[in-house]
Every structure is written in C-alpha cells, then in structure tokens.
C-alpha cells in the first residue's frame, strides 16, 4: 500500500532522478538483461546500445515520481506504455523481475546512504502501484482483443502470401492467418508485434500496418536497416509461403474521426502508418494533403500508389520533397522540407488534423514549423519508432 510517507519520499528523490536517472536505468538494464535472459526478447538491443531505451525509461520513471500523487497528470503516457507492452506481449510475470532489478539499481547507483531502507520501501510501494495499474490495463486490452471478431491472445501464425519490393530499401510482406480464420480489424496507424527465432534466440519487433484494414490480410513494409538483424532476415530469408508469428495490432497513434482537413507528413519509412490513414480517410471526402520526404527517388516507396490515389480522388493533393535530384523523379521540390515549402503546401485554413512521422530531427523540425504556421498543437500528432522520448525543438 502506498502511504503518504511513501509519496513524500518518492517525490523527494526527483532531483536525484533529474541528475542521474539515465545512469540508474542503464545500470538497471545491465543487471536485468544479464541475469534474466527470459526478458531479453522484449528489448531491442540496438536501442540499448544507442542509449534510447535507458533514456526513455529514465524519463518515464522521472515523470512517474513527479506525479505519483496525481497520476492523471501523466496524460497519454500510461496509455502509450500499455499499448507498447501489449504489442510485445508483456505479461504479469515480467513485473516482479523488473521491480527487483529497479530496486537493486536504485540501491547500487545511489548508494546505501542515499537509498536507505525507507527510500527502498517507498519505491517498492510505488512500483507495486504502477505494476498493478499496468497489469490491469493490459489485461483489459488482451481480453478485449481476444473477444473481438478475428481477435486472438498471444501469438498467431500468419502466412506470407506476398512479398513486394517497394524501393531500394523497403519491402512489403502481405500476411494472412495460417488457420484460415477471421482477421481482426485495426485502427489506421496501429502496428503489429512480430516474434522470430534467429540463431536459436527469440527476438520481438513492432512494424506498422501499411494499408487500411480490409478483412483478409495485413501488410507490413519493412526498411532494411544497416546492420539490422531482424530487417535483414526478413528481406533476405523470408519467402512467400513462410509463416510468421504475430501479436495482435496495438498502438495509440491512430487516425481520429474528424471532418477537418487532414495533413499527413512523413519521411522515409515513416510513410507506412500514414498510408493506412490515407486509404481509410479517402472515402470520407475530407480534404487531404499528403507530403512525403525521401533522400532520392530510389528509396522513395509507394509513389505510384499515392499518385494513383490522387488521380482517383480530387480531394487528395500530394507533394514529394526529395533531397537529391534525379531525372524524372517526380519531385515537387528538392532539398530538405523547409518552413516555406510547408507554408505553401498546407491548406490556407490551419485548423487541420496533422499527423507526422519520421526520424527524430525531422519530427522536431515539423513540430516547430507546424506551431509557427498556426496549426493547433493539440492537432499535431506524432509517434516514435523506438522507445518514447521527449521531442525537443
């Protein structure tokens, strides 16, 4: 039970977390991944190496400590965590492992003089409250998904019925249930979880669904990352007829029902969830501006598909910005997407719903530009490919 004394102690540790939270969470991951191999598949080791995962956890722990007495102030953070956990199939038995490693890291990083028995007891109670909250919320999602038409719990085998090269870097995989059963619908913008066994080791990844729900197949479109273990396997080893194990769609970066003009802005493989949004929104007749940026035409995926949609739907206007010019590349501009280009391509009325996705520097720039151009901040929505983090301007 979290007491008032516990709350006061946890909040008193906020300055320590602000100063050294990343060191604490880095040590936490080092302990947990070394001593509990059963949880390693839940974490992308590339995010560990880059420091993104420890930074994201440090930010989450800090926000929780700051708002432990009024969790409603955390806003969408809890929902984002729940959706990410569900997509990777985090289960109740994982929480005690995390809790014990977190408390041990607090003690070892802060030292016994700072991390006294009272501090450890307070954080144990705080973590218990958070674990109960997340376990309950995640079970609600798991149960609702299993009850839904075409839904399931845990992993489900899907057959690769199509493999399509979309660009020099991106390949699409068309997936249908191997059992021939019904297929769960999803909200445009959501992603699936994928579980693989590579060289005897289990790995899990998330991939956005890159076409609107159609009742008979899912499509993911995967960029081959330099040195990417899973993306390289999918590009090189997976063939039509193979089976992949999927977790049900999840995610809260989703297209909201609205009659406002819709603006979809992407860079690189960030186009994938926005394609699903675009296809789902077109029947509504709402005005749509689709803006896509890529390094050059060779790595630009889905241009022909978007062009065909624009030709068939007058309310859709599309714009391409390619950094490097190539003859006949169909670009509307070359170089980086600038404030001036964005001003020209946005609707004159800035009361729009904007969704954007791409590398972090690209999104930080867009967040700033959209605000400067008068798009209401609450209507400019984005998501991170990897661990959630603050999008600094």
Residues acting as catalytic residues:
95, 138
Is residue 387 annotated as involved in ligand binding? yes
Question: What whole-number distance in Å separates Cα of residue 94 and Cα of residue 114?
Answer: 28
Say if residue 12 carries a ligand binding annotation.
no
Q: Classify strands 201-208 and 333-334 as parallel, antiparallel or unpaired.
A: unpaired
To the question of whether residue 384 is assigned a binding role by annotation, the answer is yes
Q: Is 369 annotated as a binding residue?
A: no
Strand partners, 170: 223
Q: Does the annotation flag 206 for ligand binding?
A: yes
The neighbouring-strand residues paired with 76 are none
Chain-centroid distance of CA 289 in Å reads 23
d(CA 118, CA 271): 49
Q: Determine if residue 270 is labeled as part of a ligand binding site.
A: yes
- Which tokens sit at 139? 């079970």
**208 annotated among ligand-binding-site residues:** yes
Residue with tokens 């985090």: 90
Q: Check whether 64 is labelled as a binding-site residue.
A: no
Rounded CA-CA distance 281/287 in Å is: 9
386 is in an annotated binding site: yes
Q: Would you say 193 is a known binding-site residue? A: no
Is 258 annotated as ligand-binding?
Answer: no
Q: Is 271 annotated as a binding residue?
A: yes
Query: Is 298 assigned to a binding site?
Result: no
* Residues of the binding site for heme b: 85
* Residues of the binding site for FAD: 191, 205-208, 384-387
* Residues of the binding site for NADP(+): 268-273
* Residues of the binding site: 85, 191, 205-208, 268-273, 384-387
């Amino acid at each position: 039970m979290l007491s008032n004394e516990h709350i006061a102690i946890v909040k008193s540790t906020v300055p320590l977390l602000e100063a050294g939270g990343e060191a604490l969470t880095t040590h936490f991951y080092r302990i947990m991944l070394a001593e509990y191999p059963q949880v390693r598949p839940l974490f992308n080791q590339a995010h560990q190496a880059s420091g993104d995962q420890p930074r994201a956890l440090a930010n989450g722990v800090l926000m929780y400590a700051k708002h432990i007495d009024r969790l409603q102030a955390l806003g969408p953070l809890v929902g984002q965590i729940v959706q990410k956990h569900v997509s990777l199939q985090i289960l109740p038995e994982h929480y005690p492992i995390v809790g014990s490693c977190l408390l041990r890291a607090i003690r070892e990083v802060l030292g016994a003089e700072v991390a006294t028995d009272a501090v450890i007891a307070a954080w144990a109670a705080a973590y218990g409250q958070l674990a109960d909250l997340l376990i309950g919320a995640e079970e609600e999602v798991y149960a609702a998904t299993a009850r839904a038409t075409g839904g399931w719990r845990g992993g489900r085998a899907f057959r690769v019925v199509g493999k399509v090269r979309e660009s020099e870097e991106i390949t699409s995989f068309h997936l249908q249930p191997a059992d021939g059963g019904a297929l769960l619908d999803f909200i445009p913008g959501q992603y699936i979880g994928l579980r693989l066994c590579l060289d005897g080791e289990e790995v899990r990844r998330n991939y956005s669904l890159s076409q609107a729900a159609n009742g008979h197949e899912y499509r993911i479109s995967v960029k081959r990352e330099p040195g990417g273990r899973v993306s390289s396997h999918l590009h090189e080893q997976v063939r039509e007829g193979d089976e992949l194990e999927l977790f049900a769609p999840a995610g809260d970066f989703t297209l909201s029902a609205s009659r406002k003009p819709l603006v979809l802005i992407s860079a690189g493989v960030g186009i994938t969830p926005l394609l699903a949004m675009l296809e789902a929104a077109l029947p509504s007749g709402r005005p749509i501006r689709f803006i896509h940026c890529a390094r050059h035409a060779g790595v630009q995926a889905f241009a022909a598909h978007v062009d065909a949609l624009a030709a068939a739907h007058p309310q859709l206007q599309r714009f391409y910005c390619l950094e490097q010019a190539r003859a006949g590349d169909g670009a509307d501009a070359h170089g980086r997407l600038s404030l001036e280009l964005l001003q020209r391509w946005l609707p004159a009325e800035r009361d729009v719903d904007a969704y954007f996705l791409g590398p972090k520097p690209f999104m930080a720039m867009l967040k700033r530009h959209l605000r400067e151009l008068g798009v209401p901040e609450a209507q400019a929505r984005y998501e991170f490919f990897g661990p959630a983090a603050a999008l600094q301007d």
